[in-house]
Amino acid sequence: MSTNTVLNQTWAAHIEKWLSSGLSAKAFCEQEGLVYHQFGYWRQKFSSADDSPNESKLVPVALATPSQQALDLEILLPSGVVIRGIDAGNISLVTSLVAAL
């Protein structure tokens, strides 16, 4: 067996033991007498090897619709004119309308 294979197996065993320990990486290294930055290197190496290149790290999101409260905003002008349905998407239009009155 090659030295690289033994090294890989040794660090893989450390990583597996750490995962089941419930300890932070730093606490685990202190407990096991491991060099923290070496542990981090191997942990990264094994996690990169497990990642599928076709697996997306993105998660789907949905845009929230404006709340009913936002649509209920209105301006009542002294002349009795009411401007309703004010929201962030049309605030510049409302500002222009009010300036024109």
Residues 6 or more apart whose CB falls under 8 angstroms from that of 76 comprise 82
pLDDT tens by residue, 5-44: 888 899 999 999 999 998 999 999 999 999 999 999 998 8
d(CA 26, CA 23): 8
Tell me the whole-structure pTM to 2 decimals: 0.47
Are residues 87 and 70 in contact, defined by beta-carbon separation less than 8 angstroms? yes
